[in-house]
């Protein structure tokens, strides 16, 4: 239920006071001023049409509240049968009255009708300029008239407006004021109702029974307030537990990487040792075989020469010659056979090794180094998070020697350029400092006199810095309802001002360099293509417009409807550079329309789970990320429109979302999601894993109120359109 909150008198009837009322009169579904607001039984208020009517089930019997998921049964009258919210109606009356009073500052003098009114005469009941006030006080007839300043008159008018009570009338007897409360029916009635409909009921004047019922209501809500406090405290406990879980996960993941990497290192070391042993065994075996082969080869030569001589003699020699060589040849063959026995040749055997198992000693924060007999008896390395570090965060180690030594050379190097390790010697202690600049696994070599420290080279896992809430680096104020924001190839920031209908362009120093008319009614989304052409989506006239980089109008497309190239409140718009297409969040048609750069139709992404898709963004490979506003989640699609994943659920805890209205995907595979009614920015990995949230509801630096747009510049700065604070913030 909306509650009428009166503006402070110090604020008077200013533009800020009116804007505060405008914010309370905005529907959470259409993000526009209420149209025929209806109050649900769960005390949430939305527009009758088209917001609530689009939520009605096909059988027309119920709808589900988009905020709290309460199922609301409907009568035969449907949404029209829901109760109107008199608080909202009263706020509209106050808003209109404030507007009229605020216009007094622009009113001409009622006396001379030339000068601008600066005061009010209570006796004449007329506005006066400075000259007429002076004349008023100079004339004897009007000298003692009571003149007040225009500001004081506005204050009094504000008191009258805010003190004015809404008059409720009877639905059965037109224009009769509801002054009586029926205790029997627990309902307000008029005097005519008492005659027939409530003749025998117990009723009394509202003024008489109000104190009693007010006391009962206060008594009833007091314990609920206490319970709400406990519930809020429980939510904080859950948030703390969730944060601790994420922190513990990060620590355990680092430990896993460290332990597995150490296992790999020890396995690699054991592999090297075993391969070395195998090489030695192989060399010995080959050496033995070579020696035996030499002996066999010599025997072969001896036998071959004798056989060749004997066979030659038998073939060509005379009988006498053969008889002459017979005895010495046979004697020589017997001698060779005696010297070499075939059985003595060692048969080939397999090379055998014993592969012994080993136990890995846990990696400790304090490590001993290999002894250097000539220089060092012992030394140790100490430091926190030696192998699990944060990007852009200095890592400090200390190498301690048991006693000072001369001619000691300590070398530290990380295999990731351009990282430099600084080493400072202090007696028998060496202070080593290095800062990783990129995420991922790296190796750190630490040697002393050319010998590695035990465990060196270390596998270093460099993780991203945790996101923390910081004051923005800069703010650009005095904007008029900034919505969409995009950064082009020249690092120029382009902003769509929904309030003024203009497009603002800032350079990379955030100096305004250009302003041009959107030629529409309510520009919301803004995107740029590879040529820096600018595309604008207009929520109110349901069109998409294309401009040059200089703001010259090129083309427009779209009308209101649900066919191709027709839109119903287009909001977010994005350019997918991987396929050169324009994607539009077609909010009330519950789809994404894909256009060619010339604004002709290409395709549609539509699924049953879409519930007011507001904005789109893309990762490096062209996957589409959609801010599904009404279902409080983000949906990820492939370039062919196939749904990959959904992440986010309704709520304010870690990983939960409240009405995501815009998003941006960075080059580091990080998704930044703007929660319009969660008043914060939540950060995820592209796989949907929650990282953190930053910003909160408020007006101070680093706080946001109903943010609507986001983009990331080439330096990694996050530019947020802080819509209802009417400014840009750069984090």
The tokens of 350 are what? Answer: 């397999």
496-548 tens-digit pLDDT: 999 999 999 999 888 999 999 999 989 999 999 999 999 999 999 999 999 99
Q: Are 701 and 475 in contact (CB under 8 A)?
A: yes
Half-sphere exposure of residue 48: CA atoms within 13 angstroms, side-chain side? 14
pLDDT of residue 4: 40
pLDDT of residue 661: 95
Q: Which helix (H) or strand (E) holds 577?
A: none
Instruction: Report the chain's C-alpha Rg in angstroms.
Output: 43
User: Which residues 6+ apart lie within 8 Å of 222 measured at CB?
Assistant: none
CA separation for the pair 398, 415 (Å, rounded):
20
Closest CA to 254 of 402, 384, 133, 139: 384
Q: Are 48 and 38 in contact (CB under 8 A)?
A: yes
pLDDT of residue 493: 95
Helix or strand or coil: residue 481? coil
For helices 15-24 and 86-102, give the axis angle rounded to 10 degrees: 160
CA separation for the pair 423, 61 (Å, rounded):
75
Looking at residue 387, the DSSP 8-state letter turns out to be S
Long-range pairs, 27-31, Cβ under 8 A, ≥24: 27/51, 28/66, 28/67, 28/659, 28/677, 29/66, 29/612, 29/630, 30/569, 30/588, 31/661, 31/676
Q: Within 10 A of 516 (CB to CB), how many other CB atoms are there?
A: 16
pLDDT of residue 192: 86
Q: Are 651 and 693 in contact (CB under 8 A)?
A: no
pLDDT of residue 159: 66
CA separation for the pair 595, 189 (Å, rounded):
57
Q: Are 375 and 408 in contact (CB under 8 A)?
A: yes
The tokens of 269 are what? Answer: 């070391």
pLDDT of residue 439: 62
Mean pLDDT, contiguous 10-residue spans, the chain (731 residues): 39 60 81 87 87 88 86 90 80 71 70 82 83 86 84 70 67 81 89 84 89 87 82 80 78 80 82 80 81 81 83 84 84 78 56 50 35 50 62 77 64 65 79 75 75 71 56 84 94 94 92 93 94 95 95 94 93 94 95 95 92 94 94 92 92 90 90 94 91 88 92 88 93 87
102-131 tens-digit pLDDT: 666 667 787 787 788 888 888 887 888 888
Q: Are 457 and 444 in contact (CB under 8 A)?
A: yes
User: Which residues 6+ apart lie within 8 Å of 657 measured at CB?
Assistant: 632, 633, 634, 648, 649, 650, 651, 673, 675, 678, 682
pLDDT of residue 371: 42
CA separation for the pair 79, 61 (Å, rounded):
10
Helix or strand or coil: residue 486? strand
Look up tokens 């070391």; give the residue: 269
């Amino acid at each position: 239920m909306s509650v009428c909150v009166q503006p402070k008198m110090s604020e008077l009837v200013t533009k800020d006071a009116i804007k505060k009322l405008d914010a309370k009169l905005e529907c959470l579904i259409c993000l526009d001023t209420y149209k025929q607001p209806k109050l649900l039984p769960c005390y949430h208020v939305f527009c009758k049409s088209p917001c609530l009517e689009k939520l009605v089930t096909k059988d027309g019997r119920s709808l589900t509240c988009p905020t709290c998921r309460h199922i609301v049964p409907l009568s035969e009258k449907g949404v029209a049968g829901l109760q109107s919210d008199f608080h909202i109606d009263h706020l509209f009356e106050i808003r209109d009255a404030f507007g009229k009073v605020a216009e007094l500052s622009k009113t001409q003098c009622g006396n001379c009708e030339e000068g601008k009114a600066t005061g009010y005469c209570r006796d004449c009941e007329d506005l006066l300029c400075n000259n007429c006030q002076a004349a008023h006080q100079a004339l004897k007839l009007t000298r003692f008239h009571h003149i007040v300043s225009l500001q004081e008159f506005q204050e009094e008018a504000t008191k009258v407006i805010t003190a004015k009570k809404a008059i409720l009338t009877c639905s059965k007897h037109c224009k009769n004021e509801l002054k009586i409360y029926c205790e029997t029916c627990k309902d307000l009635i008029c005097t005519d109702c008492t005659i027939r409909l409530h003749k025998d009921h117990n009723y009394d004047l509202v003024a008489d029974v109000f104190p009693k019922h007010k006391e009962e209501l206060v008594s009833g809500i007091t314990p609920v307030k206490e319970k709400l406090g406990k519930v809020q405290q429980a939510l904080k406990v859950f948030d703390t537990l969730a944060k601790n879980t994420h922190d513990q996960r990060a620590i355990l993941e680092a430990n896993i990487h460290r332990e597995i990497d150490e296992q790999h290192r020890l396995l690699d070391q054991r592999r090297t040792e075993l391969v070395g042993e195998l090489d030695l065994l192989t060399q010995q075996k080959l050496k033995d075989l070579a020696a035996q082969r030499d002996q066999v080869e010599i025997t072969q030569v001896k036998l071959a020469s004798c056989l060749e001589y004997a066979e030659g003699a038998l073939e060509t020699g005379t009988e006498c010659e053969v008889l002459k060589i017979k005895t010495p040849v046979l004697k020589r063959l017997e001698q060779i056979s005696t010297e070499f026995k075939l059985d003595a040749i060692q048969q080939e055997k397999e090379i055998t090794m014993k592969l012994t198992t080993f136990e890995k000693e846990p990696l400790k924060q304090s490590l001993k180094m290999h002894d250097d007999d000539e220089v060092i008896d012992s030394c140790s390395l100490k430091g926190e998070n030696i192998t699990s570090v944060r990007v852009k965060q200095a890592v400090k180690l200390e190498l301690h020697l048991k006693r000072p030594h001369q001619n000691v050379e300590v070398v530290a190097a990380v295999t990731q350029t351009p990282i430099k390790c600084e080493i400072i010697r202090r007696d028998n202690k060496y202070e080593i400092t290095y800062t990783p600049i990129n995420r991922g696994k790296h190796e750190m070599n630490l040697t002393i006199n050319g010998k590695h420290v035990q465990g060196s080279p270390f596998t270093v896992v460099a993780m991203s810095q945790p996101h923390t809430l910081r004051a923005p680096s800069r703010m650009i104020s005095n904007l008029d309802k900034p919505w969409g924001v995009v950064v082009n190839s020249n690092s120029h920031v382009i902003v769509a001002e929904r309030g003024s209908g203009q497009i603002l362009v800032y350079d990379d120093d955030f100096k305004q360099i250009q302003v041009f008319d959107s030629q529409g009614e309510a520009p919301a989304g803004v995107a740029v293509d590879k040529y820096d052409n600018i595309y604008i989506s207009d929520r109110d006239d349901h069109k998409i417009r294309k401009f040059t980089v200089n703001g010259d109008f090129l083309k427009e497309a779209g009308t209101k409807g649900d066919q191709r190239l027709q839109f119903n409140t287009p909001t977010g718009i994005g350019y997918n550079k991987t396929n050169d297409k324009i994607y539009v969040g077609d909010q009330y048609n519950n789809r994404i329309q894909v256009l060619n750069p010339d604004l002709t139709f290409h395709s549609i992404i539509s699924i049953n789970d879409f519930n007011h898709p507001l904005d789109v963004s893309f990762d490096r490979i062209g996957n589409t990320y959609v801010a599904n506003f009404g279902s409080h989640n983000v949906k990820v699609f492939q370039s062919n429109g196939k749904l990959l994943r959904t992440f986010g659920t309704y709520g304010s805890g870690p990983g939960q979302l409240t009405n995501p209205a815009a998003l941006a995907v960075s080059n580091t595979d990080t998704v930044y999601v703007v929660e319009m009614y969660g008043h914060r920015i939540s950060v995820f990995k592209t796989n949907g894993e929650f990282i953190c949230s930053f910003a909160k509801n408020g007006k101070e630096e680093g706080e946001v109120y109903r943010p609507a747009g986001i983009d990331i510049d080439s330096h990694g700065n996050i530019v947020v359109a802080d819509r209802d604070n009417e400014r840009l913030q750069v984090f």
